[in-house]
Amino acid sequence: MVACNISWNTLFTYTDQDMNYPGGIDTDREGNIYLCGYDSHNVQQISADDNLINTLIKKKEDKMQPRKLRFCRDLDRFIVEYYNCDIIEVYDMVCEEHGYLWKIIHCRIL
């Protein structure tokens, strides 16, 4: 992934061995980047300065290939659409004993 400013100047280039065929992308209100890995079956959270924060979703099923996501900035929630399996998942940030985690709150089969 190449991050650019409004003038198309390159800010940074993000690569990770666990991110294959990146696709859907969005940002949260802090400027963190959420990136779908279509072939790696994951969603990564990346800081605005090019550091991997966390792998939020890692699907083991080959059919679960995330291709689009949308972050709802007001709710600390994001929605993931998967290719070729007609599933949409909604994730919320949940406060747990050891910090904040992303947990699935809703799954809909289309």
Give the DSSP per-residue string, 46-98.
Answer: E-TTS-EEEEEEE--STT-EEEEEEEETTTTEEEEEEETS-EEEEEEEEEETT
- 14-26: pLDDT as tens digits: 999 999 999 899 9
pTM of the model: 0.81
Domains in the chain, start-ordered, CATH in brackets? 2-109 (2.40.10.500)
- Report the 10 Å Cβ neighbour count for 8: 7
Sheet holding 99-109, edge to edge: 65-72, 77-83, 87-96, 99-109
- 3-12 per-position pLDDT tens digit: 888 899 998 8
